[in-house]
Amino acid sequence: MLQRLPVLSLSLILSLSALACGAPGSASETGDVDKGKVVFEQHMCVECHKGGGNSVKPSRPVKGKAFKERYPLDADLEKLIRSGVPNSSMPSFGKDVIDEQEMKDLLAYLRSLTPESNKKNAKKSTRKEK
């Protein structure tokens, strides 16, 4: 039993160390939708993109299937936001304007404007299969 004590102690220390570093999905890795909405409003994104639309270029809203297909990865969308759109009214928002956590929050908010999938249709197709 005494020989197992150091192994158990080491296992406990390693487990606690891993927890202290932050679990996946913690606030530092993902964004907060409510905080993202605040970032969206504070940086005046809402002026052109109210409700996820686009008053400057209505055919390019920041929500919906086409938007999700155009920017499938958060990195793609972040690049657009960070660099802006040349020759347009879309400014750039560098890290000195929107920090890393605010960007994660903003991306979470923008993604929330487009529902993942229509769960009702998924349920209907499951019922038909039975």
Question: pLDDT tens digits, residue range 64-123?
Answer: 999 999 999 999 999 999 999 998 889 999 999 999 999 999 999 999 999 876 444 445
Map residue 120 onto helix, strand or coil: helix
Rounded to the nearest integer, the mean pLDDT of the chain is: 77
Distance from chain centroid for Cα 94: 17
Residue 110 included in any domain: yes
Q: Which residues contact 69 (CB under 8 A, 6 or more apart)?
A: none
How long is the chain? 130
- CATH assignment of the domain containing 110: 1.10.760.10
Task: Record the tokens describing residue 87, joined without a space.
Answer: 């020759």
- The model's confidence at residue 18, banded by pLDDT at 50, 70 and 90, is very low
Containing structural domain, residue 85: 33-116
